[in-house]
Chain A
Amino acid sequence: MSDWYRNFANSGFGTTVTKQLGLPRPAVLRRYEPGQPLLPGPAVIGSAGEGRLRESLTALLHAEGVHGQSPVTADGATDGEKPAAVILDATGLRTPADLASAHDFLSPAVKRLRATGRVLILADPPSEADSPAQAAARQALDGLVRSIGKELLNGSTANLLYVPEGAEGSIASPVKFFLSGRSAYVDGQVVTLSPADFPTDEDDDKPLAGKVAVVTGAARGIGAAIARVMARDGAHVVAVDIPGAGDKLAEVANEIGGTAFQLDITASAAAERLIEHLRERHGGVDIVVHNAGITRDKLLVNMDAARWNSVMAVNLQAQLDITQALLDADGVLKPNARVVCVSSQSGIAGNRGQTNYAASKAGVIGMVRAWGPAFAERKATINAVAPGFIVTEMTAKMPLGTREVGSRLNSLQQGGLPVDVAETIAWLSQPGSGGVNGQTVRVCGQSLLGA
């Protein structure tokens, strides 16, 4: 499913036309491919106040082979090519006045940012500020990053990472994610780390090597993409879907060297059977991706109980039941386990005709937030990913106008791909991502809906 408009806008003639008419000009995003360098160019790192992350950021980039560039000087002088990333260490912020130095650094640097570039700001969370002024300064970054995201062109993104005291050792995985092509469609997002130490020592190309990952709803669409990315990153994937989708499921499993497990996750014995299967065949599980979901759209006033109940059963109750059963089953959920639940933009912004779906997907966000501390106790994490407009077989069936408008209502002016959702889930599944817990990360190109 190619984006005909994006292709046109990036052609020679299309560039002229779209520029003159002031039409949106969606860029070809920088997506991850194995072996790809972290960034296609140098990175420039600046500070606002006396930051404490600058050294580790520099070391991290150096280890990834990224050339560290000096900030643009007052007279406009730079040391060479345009940066592919602009990184601000704002952990030294004390008052809103300090934000002026953030502006001084970002303004000329972002101006020089190359296409498909990355802006990443790291700061302490407002909730842990010493004073209202410090909290204000830290919270100000939220509005700053979201606005930068909306101003950036050419497929560039801006994101904010809150790093509390004690979480310094966990920044590698999220920093690498936000700079790399893995986060192509993640824009305008704020992620808060937990104070814990999760150094990244996994192989960059096979970060999930040796892991067993369950992916529900894996027969097609986003689920199949998740299974493929998980397998690419080294995991053995147990692909789960309803028995009726078993043929497509087998195709996916065979393509990625995984295994197919036909299971109706809403069946009464579903959790028990999944656990028995994981115990018998794999001795447990490292990663669980609750992706299976259904829609049964109708306006609330016309919605019958069957539509309501079936959506709740698949999208929310099954996630709760299976996760609880995994927690209760002795030794099945491995230490450092990762659970990632698929929510939706509808769960954040609501959607006409989707009261049931939006309720179930909002429920998922509440569920991961509430479960976070219990998972942290066993050095595990549970997070959600909320996809925005993702181009799938389902969206292909939408009327052209609705589809075109829907796909452009975001800062990147295009729909995301299933692989974009999959990359974010695979990142949250990495051993080094232990600092991210109880959170919901949107994969929506900074959608205007619910932002």
Chain B
Amino acid sequence: MANSPKPETRKAAIVGGNRIPFARSNSTYAQASNQDMLTATLDGLVARFGLQGAQLGEVVAGAVLKHSRDFNLTRESVLGSKLSATTPAYDVQQACGTGLEAAILVANKIALGQIESGIAGGVDTTSDAPLAVGDDLRRVLISLNNAKTLQDRLKALARIRPGQLVPEIPRNAEPRTGLAMGDHAAITAKEWEISREDQDELTVRSHQNMAAAYDRGFFDDLVTPYLGLTRDQNLRPDSTVEKLATLKPVFGKGEGATMTAANSTPLTDGASAVLLASDEWAAEQGLPVLAHLIDAQTAAVDYVHGGEGLLMAPVYAMPVMLARNGLSLQDFDFYEIHEAFASTVLSTLKAWEDPAFCKGKLGLDAPLGSIDRSKLNVNGSSLAAGHPFAATGGRIVAQLAKTLHEAGPGKRGLISICAAGGQGVVAILES
């Protein structure tokens, strides 16, 4: 490995981003489809960077909850947008890692010189969610569709039973354990002894950071209003630890339960997009370069039989990426750790600080250590903004790139995102 020559590559530039404000489930965006939201988000990006009629290298995006008719969601959104109809597109899906994974895919093609520019995005609606019919009814309907004669059709129809008419609603639960993601996170929180107070404190800081960022105009070139919403609906600028302390736990059981509706992200609707390019392309277009995507890593854990927490995969991905880049966990100016749950962020940090865990599970001689908390999620994260699954990665990439750009050249930022299925995606950005 050490001797194999590194292929000739370049670093992909992050030019900027756009997202719509995130809305709480079954609220402002209840009537908006994934395609509506992704198209509007692309159009906002087009307007911001003057890309009307432009043929980009590729648009890559995805949704976690997806209707079967949306098989070509991203391409259809491109066709409905102001981009050139000759811009190719494809869908990806890696649960909550979708947005960041999309950015990595676009960046890698740019790095290899296969494309000069591209958009990475993601969208999710928990309001306009797909309902599926049960397997029994589905089989009846298929045979009805295949029936050639009236007799055959009536025979097929006769097989319908009332019980089959109950649709299958998508659940925020792991298919292999039947547990909600929050219940999984609660197990991990208990294991790592994450206190209610620490979780609430992290939550309040997220809200306050994001509200302050909005107030100073930080999001002016990152967010475009949609359907009357101008800020994230979940954002509570007046959030306090005292207020949060009054809430009852919703995940976990009994005395030790610590996870509430506030320190867990709510179901959310929204979309995001990031414009990536080669430095040359950006310069030709007169567009800025906020940061470069330096490296990325994914990992997965066996949360079903392996005894690891569902959302702990980023913990495993991180040392691999750090070692490859000769960096320590402390070599960063900003950290973006996705707040699926406050406890997830805290468990992740605690694991990196734990010598036994780092040696036993990560195979490290020394723990990765602790980070300067004042550099963590400085402009707010998912607890404040909400978390439309596939849209979170794009929000974080654009937000961190801008944060790094504001701080000046040579600043380094770290992203860590956990995903369903026991997966995790981490990445390094540099201004």
Complex Cα distance, B226 from A282, in Å, reads 28
Complex Cα distance, B213 from A67, in Å, reads 63
Asked whether any CB of chain A lies closer than 8 Å to the CB of B190, the reply is no
Please tell me if the beta carbons of B286 and A281 are within 8 angstroms of each other in the complex: yes
Please tell me if the beta carbons of B223 and A257 are within 8 angstroms of each other in the complex: no
| Interfacial chain B residues near A246, Cβ < 8 Å | 44, 223-225, 230
Q: Which of B46, B217, B230, B286 contacts A282 (CB 8 A)?
A: B286
Report A271 CB to chain B, min CB distance, Å: 13
Chain B: CB-nearest residue to A237: B50
Report B351 CB to chain A, min CB distance, Å: 39
Asked whether any CB of chain B lies closer than 8 Å to the CB of A263, the reply is yes
Please tell me if the beta carbons of B43 and A257 are within 8 angstroms of each other in the complex: no
Q: Which of B46, B219, B226 contacts A254 (CB 8 A)?
A: B46
Asked whether any CB of chain B lies closer than 8 Å to the CB of A260, the reply is yes
| Interfacial chain B residues near A283, Cβ < 8 Å | 286
Please tell me if the beta carbons of B226 and A262 are within 8 angstroms of each other in the complex: no
Please tell me if the beta carbons of A259 and B48 are within 8 angstroms of each other in the complex: yes
Q: A254-B43, A281-B288 are in contact. Are A247 and B52 (CB under 8 A)?
A: no
Which residues of B from 36 to 60 have beta carbons under 8 Å from A?
40, 43-44, 46-50, 52-53
A: number of interface residues (CB 8 Å): 26
Please tell me if the beta carbons of B225 and A259 are within 8 angstroms of each other in the complex: no
Please tell me if the beta carbons of B53 and A257 are within 8 angstroms of each other in the complex: yes
Q: Mark A240-283, 1 if CB is under 8 A from B, else 0.
A: 00011111011101100111111110010100010000001111
B: number of interface residues (CB 8 Å): 23
Which residues of B from 207 to 236 have beta carbons under 8 Å from A?
217, 219-221, 223-226, 230
Complex Cα distance, B224 from A260, in Å, reads 10
Please tell me if the beta carbons of B43 and A250 are within 8 angstroms of each other in the complex: yes
Asked whether any CB of chain A lies closer than 8 Å to the CB of B82, the reply is yes
Of listed B50, B53, B230, B286, residue having the most chain A CB within 10 A: B50
| Interfacial chain A residues near B187, Cβ < 8 Å | none
Complex Cα distance, B216 from A269, in Å, reads 9
Of listed B44, B53, B226, residue having the most chain A CB within 10 A: B44
Q: A250-B224, A257-B53, A280-B288 are in contact. Are A243 and B217 (CB under 8 A)?
A: yes
Asked whether any CB of chain A lies closer than 8 Å to the CB of B287, the reply is yes
Which residues of B from 379 to 418 have beta carbons under 8 Å from A?
none
Complex Cα distance, B226 from A245, in Å, reads 10
Chain A: CB-nearest residue to B18: A250
Complex Cα distance, B251 from A307, in Å, reads 48
Please tell me if the beta carbons of A245 and B225 are within 8 angstroms of each other in the complex: yes
Q: Which of A254, A263, A280 contacts B47 (CB 8 A)?
A: A254
Report A432 CB to chain B, min CB distance, Å: 27
Q: A245-B225, A281-B287 are in contact. Are A259 and B217 (CB under 8 A)?
A: no
Please tell me if the beta carbons of B44 and A247 are within 8 angstroms of each other in the complex: yes
Please tell me if the beta carbons of B217 and A261 are within 8 angstroms of each other in the complex: no
| Interfacial chain B residues near A243, Cβ < 8 Å | 217, 219-220, 223, 225, 230
Q: Mark A359-390, 1 if CB is under 8 A from B, else 0.
A: 00000000000000000000000000000000
Report B18 CB to chain A, min CB distance, Å: 9
Q: Which of A236, A247, A262 contacts B221 (CB 8 A)?
A: A262
Q: Mark B172-196, 1 if CB is under 8 A from A, else 0.
A: 0000000000000000000000000
| Interfacial chain B residues near A245, Cβ < 8 Å | 225
Complex Cα distance, B221 from A253, in Å, reads 14
Chain B: CB-nearest residue to A253: B47
Report A10 CB to chain B, min CB distance, Å: 38
Report A11 CB to chain B, min CB distance, Å: 40
| Interfacial chain B residues near A251, Cβ < 8 Å | 43, 47
Report A224 CB to chain B, min CB distance, Å: 13
Q: Which of B48, B217, B226, B286 contacts A260 (CB 8 A)?
A: B48
Q: A281-B286, A282-B286 are in contact. Are A261 and B221 (CB under 8 A)?
A: yes
Q: A247-B44, A281-B286 are in contact. Are A258 and B50 (CB under 8 A)?
A: yes
Please tell me if the beta carbons of B217 and A273 are within 8 angstroms of each other in the complex: yes
Of listed A253, A257, A280, residue having the most chain B CB within 10 A: A253
Complex Cα distance, B225 from A247, in Å, reads 5
25 contacts between A and B (CB under 8 A): A236-B50, A243-B219, A243-B223, A245-B225, A246-B224, A246-B230, A247-B40, A247-B44, A247-B224, A247-B226, A250-B44, A250-B47, A250-B224, A253-B47, A254-B52, A257-B50, A257-B52, A257-B53, A259-B49, A259-B50, A260-B224, A263-B220, A264-B220, A281-B286, A282-B286
What is B's interface to A at a CB cutoff of 8 Å?
40, 43-44, 46-50, 52-53, 82, 217, 219-221, 223-226, 230, 286-288
What is A's interface to B at a CB cutoff of 8 Å?
236, 243-247, 249-251, 253-254, 257-264, 267, 269, 273, 280-283
